[in-house]
Amino acid sequence: MKFPKVHSLEEIANLLNCEFIGDKNFEVLGMNEIHVVEPGDIVFVDHPKYYDKALQSAATIVLINKKVECPEGKALLISDDPFRDFNTLTRHFKPFQFANAAISSSASIGEGTVIQPNSFVGNHVKIGKNCLIHSNVSIYDHTIIGDNVIIHAGTILGADAFYYKKRPEGFDQLISGGRVVIEDNVGIGALCTIDKGVTGDTTIKEGTKIDNQVHVGHDSVIGKKCLIASQTGIAGCVVIEDEVTIWGQVGTTSGITIGAKAVIMGQTGVTKSVEGGKSYFGTPIEESREKLKQLANIKKIPEILNKLK
């Protein structure tokens, strides 16, 4: 998430009421999660296990809960609670804006697009040409939709990320300030839920078709011309490359990559990254041919036991 204008390190530190290490005029351009940071971004880290990863990332401003040596060319914001202060920044730069109409006056809707009754289109949404939005679809603020997109009834684009920190008093949510981006010629079935990014984009690329009752987690990227069948659950920060086929009731863990033209058979648990161009099945996931051989061998166990007797 980029800020509307360039801020100084001192300005951000004053906003958070925290100490800083570095030039007070050090430029701050935005904020992002570790997997998508760029120079000028703030990244937060609140556990020693991840200090090095954050300090060595592309981010040039690190919001951290301990005074450490500052890498050359970077700056530090010292906070007693980086998670809380990251939320403070999101609230400040991307505050919640209530709606006062079913279709916001700030929304941009292209020529030939049809929006059926009882749908909601939020603030600063952009919808391209010749789209069909069926009834009871909710499109949250800042969502971007390309041309020739079809979205079926009951689908929700832009709900918050499922991202929490456990506190003694309960769970504290990391506020989502990102977007959902749907490219041209995408089809989305009924009752799908696509969460917005925490600070970046959840992206469905051109030509992908998604069946009913599919969930896509925050900051995931689904490539071009993919097919995703019903009741699939895709976790946050997953990369699905082009022309992947995922059959029904597949579930994934977060932060993995599914290679281009892979086929994931039904009810598979994608527990790790997998190469493209192959077919996979089972939990834990394996290549289909190998998994099916194993299942065939298991069926032979009673016969082997009888022979041993």
Q: Is the pLDDT of residue 45 over 90?
A: yes
Average pLDDT, the chain: 96
182-219 residue pLDDT tens: 999 999 999 999 999 999 999 999 999 999 999 999 99
**Residue found under tokens 């906003």:** 15
Q: Is the pLDDT of residue 166 over 90?
A: yes
76-113 residue pLDDT tens: 999 999 999 999 999 999 999 999 999 999 999 999 99
Q: Is the pLDDT of residue 300 over 90?
A: no
- The neighbouring-strand residues paired with 257 are 239
Q: Is the pLDDT of residue 307 over 90?
A: no
Distance CA 133, CA 153 (A): 8
Q: Is the pLDDT of residue 130 over 90?
A: yes
**Residue found under tokens 């990014």:** 197
Of 97, 102, 78, give the one whose Cα is nearest residue 17: 78
Separation of CA 217 from chain center: 5
Predicted confidence band at 122 (pLDDT cuts at 50, 70, 90)?
very high
Any idea which of 165-169, 276-280, 290-294 has the lowest mean pLDDT?
290-294
The set of catalytic residues is 218
Instruction: Give the domains, in start order, of the chain with CATH numbers.
Output: 2-93 (3.40.1390.10), 108-292 (2.160.10.10)
Q: What is the pLDDT of residue 71?
A: 94
25-41 residue pLDDT tens: 999 999 999 989 999 99
Distance CA 42, CA 39 (A): 9
Distance CA 173, CA 184 (A): 32
Predicted confidence band at 309 (pLDDT cuts at 50, 70, 90)?
confident
Q: Residue range 226-235: average pLDDT?
A: 98
Distance CA 309, CA 296 (A): 21
Predicted confidence band at 293 (pLDDT cuts at 50, 70, 90)?
confident
Q: What is the pLDDT of residue 215?
A: 98
Q: What is the pLDDT of residue 294?
A: 83
Q: Is the pLDDT of residue 18 over 90?
A: yes
In three-state secondary structure terms, 192 is coil
3-state secondary structure 61-127: EEEECCCCCCCCCCEEEECCCHHHHHHHHHHHHCCCCCCCCCECCCCEECCCCEECCCCEECCCCEE
- The neighbouring-strand residues paired with 193 are 156, 215
Q: Is the pLDDT of residue 299 over 90?
A: no
**203 CB-near residues (< 8 Å, 6+ apart):** 180, 181, 182, 183, 220, 221, 222
Distance CA 208, CA 201 (A): 17
Distance CA 263, CA 145 (A): 27
48-75 residue pLDDT tens: 999 999 999 999 999 999 999 999 999 9
Residue pair 281/263 in contact by the 8 Å Cβ criterion: no
- The neighbouring-strand residues paired with 126 are 108, 144
Amino acid at 286: E
Predicted confidence band at 296 (pLDDT cuts at 50, 70, 90)?
confident
Predicted confidence band at 295 (pLDDT cuts at 50, 70, 90)?
confident
Amino acid at 10: E
Q: Is the pLDDT of residue 290 over 90?
A: no
Q: Residue range 124-133: average pLDDT?
A: 98
